[in-house]
Structure formats: C-alpha cells, structure tokens
Amino acid sequence: MKNIFFFIISLTTVLIIAVSCNQSSNKNTEPKATDPISNSETQNLSSTQNDTSNSVVPIDTTAKKVEQQDVQNFSIAPIVKDYLALKNALVADNDKAAASAGKQLFSTLKNVDMKAIPANKYKEYVEIAENAKENAEHIGDNAGKIDHQREHLASLSKDVSDLIVLFGTTPKLYQDYCPMYNEGKGAIWISEAKEIKNPYYGKKMLTCGSVKKEL
C-alpha cells in the first residue's frame, strides 16, 4: 500500500516537472533572441573585433562567389519535368500514374536547394512553391479520384506557369487554355508540344482547348 502511494507521488512529480520544463523552455527562448540585438546596440566594438572582421572578408567573397554560381545554376527544369509527367498521366486518364507523378513532384519540390534561389525572387518562389507542394501532395494522395486530381491540376498549372514566368525555361513550352473546365470558369495547363491534348477531360474531349501563349 505504501509502495503504491510513493509510486503515484513520484510519477506525478515527474510529470509536473516535465510539463513545467516544457513551458519554461518556451520562455527561455525569448530572452535569448533579444540578446544579440542588445549586444550590437551597445557599441563596444574593440579594435580586435575590427581586425577579425577584416580577416573574415576574403572568406566572405569566396562564399559569395559560390553562392552566385548556385544562383546562376538554379533551374526549375526538374519541377517542370515532373509536372509534365503528371499532366500527361491525366491526359491519358491514368489516375494511378498521376498519383505517383504527384508524389514525385512533391519530392522534387521538397528537395529544392533553397540557397540556390536568387534573393530577389526568393519570397515569390516560396509563395508559389508552398502552394504547388500542397497541390502535388493532394494529387499524390488521390489515386482513384481523378476528378479531384484534376481540380488540383488547375491550381498547380497556375503555380507552374508563374514559376516559368519568374525563372524562365529552356525548352519551349506552351500555356494552353480549356474554357469549359470547372463549370465554364476555365483552366490552363502547360504543354511541351503545340498539339492540344486536354488533361482535364482526357479522351472524353482530348482536343478541347487552345494555345494561349508561348513561354
């Protein structure tokens, strides 16, 4: 009886400590964040600090050079490639292939090297890519529900089109438009060929649509 009593006390004590530790660690992070700001404001820059900052400069420029190379190398080609595979699966009314293409696209987007994106396009890229990831994920999770996959294709196609406008593309691509989709509200898709092959209706209405612009 006594042992059980001590057991309950010790268990609850452990839990209380665990809970309060969790809450206090949240409080601790706040003052730490303000510390570097207060340090820079107190202008106690010693000469030794100036010396070290000078010696750091050569390292900085080489780091910058590498960054610029990364930035020049950033390409949305893998994203476009995966999108086209997805689009073509839906042209072929193949929901399973579309789902695996969706998973592939999601993975490609997740593995993008964020450091390689030029700073002036970073914010816009993130906004588009976050949305594209959600769309790709949903398409990946919805094998057997091709209508739902096609709804997400409409949103995804806008994302990819905006990415192409933002970053450019080497192979020529076409922005096609289907006026009937979504109860007449219409939808676009990106195609690698000029020939119209509608991913929203598949073989039901394969040639419905027109080239809106060349990218």
Partner 1 sequence: MVLFIFIAIQFYQPSPNVDKGQVYTTDFTQVNKMPVEVKAMFQNSCYDCHSNNTNYAWYDYVQPTRILVENHIKNAKEDLNFNEWGTYSNRKQERLINSIKEQIETKQMPLSSYTLMHKKAILNDEQIKTLTNWLKEQQ
Show the tokens assigned to 7.
Answer: 């057991």
Cβ 76 to partner 1, closest distance in Å?
Answer: 16
Residues 191, 169 contacting (CB under 8 angstroms): no
When the beta carbons of 185 and 204 are compared against partner 1, the nearer one is 185
When the beta carbons of 70 and 177 are compared against partner 1, the nearer one is 177
- DSSP single-letter state for residue 185: T
Four-residue CA torsion sign, 176, 160, 92, 192: positive
Residues 8, 16 contacting (CB under 8 angstroms): no
When the beta carbons of 8 and 57 are compared against partner 1, the nearer one is 8
Cβ 109 to partner 1, closest distance in Å?
Answer: 15
> Which residues contact partner 1 (rule: CB under 8 A)?
4, 7-8, 11-12, 15-16, 18-19, 23, 127-128, 130-131, 134-135, 138, 148, 151-152, 154-155, 158-159, 182-183, 185
* Cβ-based neighbours of 164, under 8 Å, separated by 6 or more: 76, 80, 173, 190, 215
* Cβ-based neighbours of 58, under 8 Å, separated by 6 or more: none
Cβ 18 to partner 1, closest distance in Å?
Answer: 8
Cβ 151 to partner 1, closest distance in Å?
Answer: 6
When the beta carbons of 89 and 154 are compared against partner 1, the nearer one is 154
